[in-house]
Structure 1
Amino acid sequence: MNRPRLRHVALVVQDSAAAAAFYRDTLQMEEFHQDPDGSRFLTDGYINLALIQQRLDGDVPAGFNHFGFEVPDISGVADRMTERGVARPVLRGGARPFAEYRAIDPEGNWFDLSEHGFLPPGLVE
């Protein structure tokens, strides 16, 4: 891989089970992960779709949330971001095997960075 590649899009949804069923049944996506909070992750084999379960006590509205890039070198991307005056990406917590870092663009849009990639085991290129 020579340059970063867009690998996932995340939506906040009101019913992650129903949303996942829709994408599985109508677009033949494969569900490969479910978080304890009910968030579900699907793939078409290249791009992943994260369906983040909206929380009643949360303040994140339903709809588009963030996107993610697979990069060959997070530190190089982070250096280029700070050279442009953007905050350095921060390590994300949690037990997901992808999306190691969270970043923000100059407009305030969130995006993830991963050196490990976003595809589930068995579908990794």
Structure 2
Amino acid sequence: MPTAKLRHLAFTARDAVKLAHFYRDQFGMRIFHTDPDGSQFLTDGYINLAIIQQALDGDVPTGFNHFGFHVDDVEGAMTGLVDAGLPKPAARHTTRPFAEYRAIDPEGNWFDLSGHGFLPPTEEN
């Protein structure tokens, strides 16, 4: 089985723009996408960092939210998760082009699965 590549981490923040500017200014990360709600997406060219704007009417606390794997075979990865007794990953219903499926590990942590990777489609993944 090929090794999955960890390529995406996500945090929920009270002020996504301010936090993104911190990582940009302190660590040289590049902001490559901004959602209409203010969520920010940065990269170091290898891993992307999603900073999701917390919604006052949402039920997601600030802090760590999820991570994402770039895999060579999405269907095979999903089959392996189901065979391990986990729910089948669900299609991500979003306009963000960064991940196709959301899955859950045995402890209840969210993670994404992507066959195309997490950087913008015009960049190398």
TM-score range for the pair, normalised by the shorter chain length: over 0.9
Superposed displacement of residue 97, structure 1: 1.4
The residue that corresponds to 2:59 in the other structure is 59
In the alignment, does 2:58 pair up with 1:70? no
| Correspondences of 1:24-63 after superposition (within 5 Å) | 24-63=24-63
Q: CA RMSD in A?
A: 1.0
Separation of aligned partners in 2, 1:71 and 1:21: 30
Q: Tell me, which stretches of 5 or more residues in structure 2 are unaligned?
A: none
Q: Tell me, which stretches of 5 or more residues in structure 1 are unaligned?
A: none
**After superposition, what is the alpha-carbon deviation per residue over 1:18-75, rounded to whole angstroms, capped at 9, x for unaligned?**
0011011110000000111110000000000000000111111100000000011111
Separation of aligned partners in 2, 1:95 and 1:102: 14
TM-score by structure 1 length? Answer: 0.95
Amino acid paired to 1:18: K
Superposed displacement of residue 3, structure 1: 2.0
Separation of aligned partners in 1, 2:122 and 2:44: 13
The residue that corresponds to 1:100 in the other structure is 100
Helix, strand or coil at the partner of 1:77 = helix
Superposed displacement of residue 122, structure 1: 4.8
**After superposition, what is the alpha-carbon deviation per residue over 1:71-98, rounded to whole angstroms, capped at 9, x for unaligned?**
1111101111111100011100111111
Amino acid paired to 1:80: G
